[in-house]
Amino acid sequence: MTDLTRRTAAETAAAVASGEVSAVEVAQAHLDRIAEVDGQVHAFLHVDTDGALAAAKAVDEKIAAGEELSPLAGVPLAMKDVVVTKGLPTTAGSKIHEGWRPPYDATITRRIKDAGIVMLGKTNMDEFAMGSSTENSAYGPSHNPWDLGRIPGGSSGGSSAAVAAFEAPLSIGTDTGGSVRQPAAVTGIVGHKPTYGAVSRNGLIAFSSSLDQAGPFGRTVLDAALLHEVIAGHDPADSTSIRGPVAPVVAAAREGARGDLTGVRIGVVRELGGEGYQPGVLASFEAAVETLRGLGADIREVSCPHFGYALAAYYLIAPSEASSNLARFDGVRYGLRVGDDGVNSLEDVMSLTREAGFGAEVKRRIMIGTYALSSGYYEAYYGQAQKVRTLISRDFAAAFEQVDVLVSPSSPFVAFGIGERIDDPMAMYINDLCTLPASLAGTPAISVPSGLSEGLPVGLQIMAPALADERCYRVGAAFEAAVEPLVVPRLVGVTR
């Protein structure tokens, strides 16, 4: 691993802009790092060597011409494979999408390219973003750089692993029920879920349309904030996109790094902790709260009584929306097609294609969602779940009348072993206990590293009111500045 891959995104951007190093050199260093370690980490599904070097060369040419650069020009990035990228494979981790090369870019892809950020390739993920471990990928699991026998979280596990393994300083994930924050926590990096609607969903392959939200990964809070400002902003191509200015997250991160939280009211959520959480996770969280107190924050306990129903509500709402969204994958228009031999009917082709193309977890969620939406059961299941969602949103509103942000562990557990929970859906689903409430309410939340338990990373989750993403970054940066950074002791099988 070279010095160029150790740097933060902010440091890399400054070095490229000053001429200390070329964007091509930075890109090549990260491509070399991928070649060195990704055979073991399996963060990437596709590495776009030619495209990355061409994008880097374009940045160098702009510098030579004296053109103004964006704050992240020349910085490499890994893109979750659920985000549409023109001309590059976009599989969503599924066999049913194998070989599809989209004819257009997602809005966030276009914004990343326009900013001069160098996209290295597409990262592995749980199929259609359904999972908490990346084991549901049709292309095999990704591995946690802290211990290659453990999961890197999910569904954005490839994106988190790429950043943690120094294959890229930045990456994009998507968060439906915690799929940015939980992977960030278990790999020891920073991950933010923006306010729902703050980042365009145009060009994201949909899982659950009322929940899906793209967000940034970085190794520091400032890096995540810099990427957040690139991808956020109104998009007329997305009907759920919020009109209005982008939250001042970079300024907030810089302010927070000064380490002063005097007067900031921080609520500890009573319902997100206790029985069922690993003792080491709780100990790390308690230490984090004391650190925040030491920075001048006013710490209060807050009750959000309906958070305990978030898991049940989510696993009715998200599968119901998935059942509708995934109906478009039928083997007729693009992607995998099975049984098209001139003998089978169109209905047979659809059935055979879906049987071969969808994995077990996707089929499970489609069946749950279809049942929940069926005649006679809609109100009893989907309708009731939406009412619970409203109650959770009201809990947040009441809490934010008392405090500025809420905190909790990001996940009840550290990274578990690959294969350990794959046959127990409920054991897998409870990984999202802490992250689901903010997803259901559409509020922003960030995970920042808060220490170790059993030698593995633990994350601190910071939640803020809708459209107040900057609060997450300010408190996160202050906490980050007050604690020792996590350092992977050893990437198993690979020297650093």
Spatial distance between the Cα atoms of 259 and 405, rounded to a whole number of angstroms: 16
Instruction: Provide the 3-class DSSP secondary structure of residue 242.
Output: coil
Residue 243 dihedral angles phi and psi, to the nearest 5°: -80, 140
Closest CA to 16 of 86, 115, 105, 110: 115
Q: How many CA atoms lie within 13 A of 452 on its CB side?
A: 10
For residue 446, the tally of other CB atoms under 10 A from its CB is: 35
Residue 37: what residue type?
V
Residue 120 near residue 30, CB atoms below 8 Å: yes
Spatial distance between the Cα atoms of 307 and 491, rounded to a whole number of angstroms: 37
Q: How far is CA 354 from CA 154, 157, 360, 361, 362, in A?
A: 23, 25, 11, 13, 10
β-strands 456-463, 170-174 pairing: unpaired
Q: Which residues are catalytic?
A: 80, 155, 179
Helix, strand, coil percent values for the chain (each to nearest 5): 40, 15, 45
Q: For residue 188, what are its two tokens?
A: 């020891």
DSSP tag of 154: S
- Say which residue the tokens 């390739």 belong to: 121
User: How remote is the C-alpha of 422 from its chain's centroid?
Assistant: 20
Alpha-helix runs per DSSP H in 378-444 = 384-399, 425-429, 436-441
Residue 203 near residue 104, CB atoms below 8 Å: yes
